[in-house]
Structure 1
Amino acid sequence: MDKAAEKSDTPVVQREDFIEALRSAQAMFGLPLTGTLDRNTLAMMRQPRCGVKDSVQHKFLKFSILGRWRRKHLTYRILNYTPDMTRSGVEKAIQAAFKYWTDVTPLTFQAIKSGHADIMIRFARGSHGDNVQFDGPGRTLAHAFIPEDGRVHFDEDETWTEGTGRGINLRLVAAHEIGHALGLGHSKVYRALMAPFYAGYKPVFKLHSDDVRGVQALYGERESDSDSTILAPPQITTSMPPTSGQPDPCTADLDAFILSPSQKGYAFKGDYVWIVSEHNGAGHPIKINRLWKELPGNLDAAVHSQYTGRTYFFKGEKMWQYRKFVLQKGFPRSVRHYGLPPNPQAAFQWPGKRKIFIFQGDGCWLWDEKSRNNLGSSPKNIGNLLTRTPSNLDAAIAWRNGAIYLFRADQYWRVNNRLMAEAGYPNSKPKVWMQCV
């Protein structure tokens, strides 16, 4: 949740545009639509608020909907704790925040202590790896990501409290951000929990009817009066088992791993793919063909070329070429047309170079995607090319930091620009990349 910036160097805009923007803001605040920057409007703009961007809403609706989970039993995990409160205090505040939503829907939530959860809760400050930077005390308090991402982040530069009017109340801010994680956008109703501004500490709080209508539009009404919708953390701390045939990022060997045009890491296994971040671990697995139409599962390898903007996927003797998420005309094609081996195991492009490295067993093919010469026709022994690295890889990726990472089973190696695995490797893939405990 942000206080609007103090007035400084205001960009020049057309008077009509400025008035329309003010009227839109006043509508969000529940103020008279004067179109003038009056005292009440300025006061509202300076309130601390949620960092999630306001959505464009239908003129007859107050709440807004941005997404939806496809199931009604969800897990959550608190990744770290603020020093402002005790661990039990944080857990009770988060549990109370979920209860506002379980009281009015058939949703259930279960806390887990390790592995990937549907909703991953974290305290962080400043830049923390999701391209939405926190800004210090006040202004933006927290933000969340809509289904089926589910990340919820709180600004550690705030003072988080419960049971007092001092600081920022964790229970109510968490309830608001959980609303986003469930698929709700900001509400036009000023007194609603899902309004974009933090309204302060309330020892007794009940969801506004607009909040209830919004979440019930997504998940329906509560089916019983059972009070067991918030489940206690399991006694044994293991990763959550996969559901509906989904792979478990904590235990799955990778089929392929790419850094996409948008600089997101996509890890593939079977028919599924999930986003991987060095700060937040593995996201929620989704079907591959929801993103890349006509692309099969159980891939052999994949690589994205920063040089041409093309993404290549390999399976058997075929290669698929995509630009962003659009399959290019004439694909799939035979890999033999490019002098490449069938069933490659891993691939990456060296940062800043045209050459793509394609691995199979202990062999490595160097392929120039723009050259008419099939440079891939002369494989090199991986031991003669890369030092202290394994053969029979599962996947490989050139990461944002310029390093190369090789993966096999539950281990990974980091390769420097001298083509040598660095000291201290191999390391644990589940622990470091997937952030499984």
Structure 2
Amino acid sequence: MPTLTVLLLLWAIGSYSFPATSDTHKQDVDMVQNYLQKYYNLERGTSRSGEQKSSDLVAEKLKQMQKFFGLKVTGKPDAETLNVMKQPRCGVPDVAQFKSTPRSFQWERTHLTYRITNYTPDLPKKDVDHMIEKAFELWSNVSVLTFTKVFEGEADILISFYWRDHRDNSPFDGPGGGLAHAFLPGKEIGGDIHFDEEETWTNDFRNYNLYYVAAHELGHSLGINHIHDIGSLMYPAYIYYGDIQLSQKDIKAINALYGEHKEKYFGRPKEPQVTKEPQVPQACDTKLTFDAVTKVSRDLFFFKNRFFLRTDDSQQEVDFNGISLFWPLVGAGVDAAYEIAIRNEVFFFRGSKYWAFNGDQPKYGYPRDIHSSFGFPGKVKKIDAAVHQEETGKTYFFVANKYWRYDEYKKSMDTGYPKAIIRDFPGIGKKVDAVFQNDGFFYFFCGTRQYQFDPKTKRILSLLKTNSWFNCK
């Protein structure tokens, strides 16, 4: 496919803001091409006479992918787009009909059987059985569907672990990439779930949680497509928060296919495992508060729960994304964050641990402990806010009603700290939710208020809304 390859290569070169070798570009070009073919139905093969048509088609597919994941829609394989493409995910396409079969998109009956045909050596057999059973219970609790496990013979849904090419026209790609896939309801292979045996399957946060992936793939087996809402279990990227639940959109999707059985909600002594759909921050909410704020390069990142909002200098674009999608090692939730721009380093804090990144690439040897690294006393359980002052090389850490000052060059806390926040930052209150520096000023976020503060004169210059950085009417 020479025309498509050249097209993508030229775009990739123009999209990078950091040095990269031609080999790196070639790898990214191949990845983009394969990703769009696999998940967005980009046609394979083209001709020189169809060069412009091919170019338009690739751009359209890229826009489709970017819109689905809530990225800036450029039609080009920019750094953010490449980052999302590199994330582990479900092997089912995001568009059209995934793993098509001759059957309709739902089962004709509501009682189904399943059988586990083989087991991964990564986990004890009883753990696999338990996690698969929980995945079925998750969907059964909110629908009219019931499931029975069988141990031999035929079953509606067969669950298997496979390597690479396993003769279903959807070969696995090795560690990372596509983790598993499933087929629509129907006869023969319809409804079956396949896990990539080259992945490392676990029952916790390490590598890939089998229960989480099984629950997602079962949604496909029952007839549900991917949902672009990052709070949904049916979101295509692997984002495991430790709490596996169905969003309202997941429940609406399963009930649209099979109907709702109200007795299941009220007839059981145990409440179904359902919560309200996670709240995605709304940029123009007048009551919006933040957990952390930091600059990364020239963009501002605003963190709230397990999401972040991003805005550029123009304030015209605000992107909503999951923290784990861009910084998977950090997981869900950020207490504090700061950037040392001269080193291209960004630090994220959660609880007593912190992570360091060069851009979006994790640094080796993290997470580390805040007590052994910075010298915080044991009573400090987490950092509320942090900001680095470029002019002095000092980093300020805010904890409850006090603050510490850390020398990034000496790698030690300055003497005489902690000090009371109200002493050196009068007027902002006793506690700080988030803070960042811009053009020499500190911007403190305290509840729904934001203060522009001059650290030289120790004066508040202006009082702002927390969402003043967004293009709100």
What TM-score do the two structures reach when normalised by structure 2? Answer: 0.43
Choose between structure 1 and 2 for higher RCO, CA contacts under 8 A separated by at least 6 residues: 1
